């Protein structure tokens, strides 16, 4: 899968605007940037709810986003991305070490609900990543979902 380009940081003007708006998501560079549903199927996403949590307690970061609506009425074969910092209840950055997501798919009047979970076994936090959803997952009840991710060692955040 082709990795999407990633902005390496904010300009000073963007950081100042985020600071003035009271938005810590734009100021903090080290955080979980997004969680995605890479929907490669013929099913549309009616709604998806997501929750990110972390084992790391650091000043200025939350350990739980709470459950929030990540996607709604998203078309088939399209990626849905959600920034837990911007969309979560806390509106605070997080170093997510686990993600839970429940998704309701729809096709031709039929619906299918799936639950997804990801956890970092090596205690790294998720920078960006998501599940790949294919037709076989929804039509043949295959639960072998690929999770594509970029993770980072939290010591790099703690020691800065």
For residue 41, what is the domain's CATH number? 2.60.40
> Would you state the pLDDT for residue 42?
96
Within-domain flag for 16: no
Q: Does residue 149 lie within any of the structural domains?
A: yes
Q: Is residue 5 part of a domain?
A: no
pLDDT of residue 59: 85
Could you report how far apart the first and last alpha carbons of the chain are, in Å? 32
DSSP 95: -
Question: Which of 12-21, 56-65, 114-123, 131-140 has the lowest average pLDDT?
Answer: 12-21
The residue segments making up the domain with residue 77 are 29-158
pLDDT at position 4: 35
Is pLDDT above 70 for 14?
no
67-123: pLDDT as tens digits: 999 999 999 999 999 999 988 777 889 999 999 999 999 999 999 999 999 998 888
pLDDT confidence of residue 158: 52
The pLDDT score that the predictor gives to residue 10 is 46
Split into its structural domains, the chain has a count of 1
Answer yes or no: is 21 within a domain: no
- Considering only residues 60 and 64, tell me which one the structure prediction assigns the higher pLDDT: 64
Q: Which residues of 46-59 are buried (b: 16+ CB within 10 A; e: fewer)?
A: bbbbbbbbbeeeee
Whole-number Cα distances in Å, 142 to 107, 136, 138: 17, 6, 7
- Tell me what pLDDT residue 6 has: 34
**Is 37 a domain residue?**
yes
- Does residue 17 form part of some domain? no
- Asked if residue 60 belongs to a domain, the reply is yes
pTM attached to this predicted model: 0.80
- Tell me which residue of 25, 39, 55, 9 sits closest to 104, measured CA to CA: 39
Please answer whether residues 105 and 82 qualify as being in contact, where contact means their C-beta atoms are separated by less than 8 angstroms.
no
């Amino acid at each position: 899968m082709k990795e999407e380009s990633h902005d390496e940081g904010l300009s000073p003007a963007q950081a100042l605007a985020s600071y003035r708006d009271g938005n810590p998501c734009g100021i903090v560079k080290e955080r979980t940037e997004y969680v995605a549903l890479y929907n490669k199927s013929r099913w549309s996403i009616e709604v998806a709810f997501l929750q990110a949590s972390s084992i790391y307690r650091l000043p200025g970061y939350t350990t739980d986003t709470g459950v929030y609506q990540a996607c709604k009425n998203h078309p088939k074969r399209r990626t849905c991305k959600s920034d837990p910092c911007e969309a979560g209840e806390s509106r605070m950055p997080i170093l997510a070490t686990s993600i839970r997501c429940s998704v309701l798919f729809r096709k031709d009047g039929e619906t299918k609900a799936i639950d997804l979970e990801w956890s970092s076994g090596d205690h790294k936090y998720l920078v960006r990543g998501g599940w790949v959803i294919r037709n076989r997952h929804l039509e043949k009840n295959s639960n072998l979902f690929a999770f594509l991710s970029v993770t980072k060692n939290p010591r790099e955040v703690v020691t800065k």
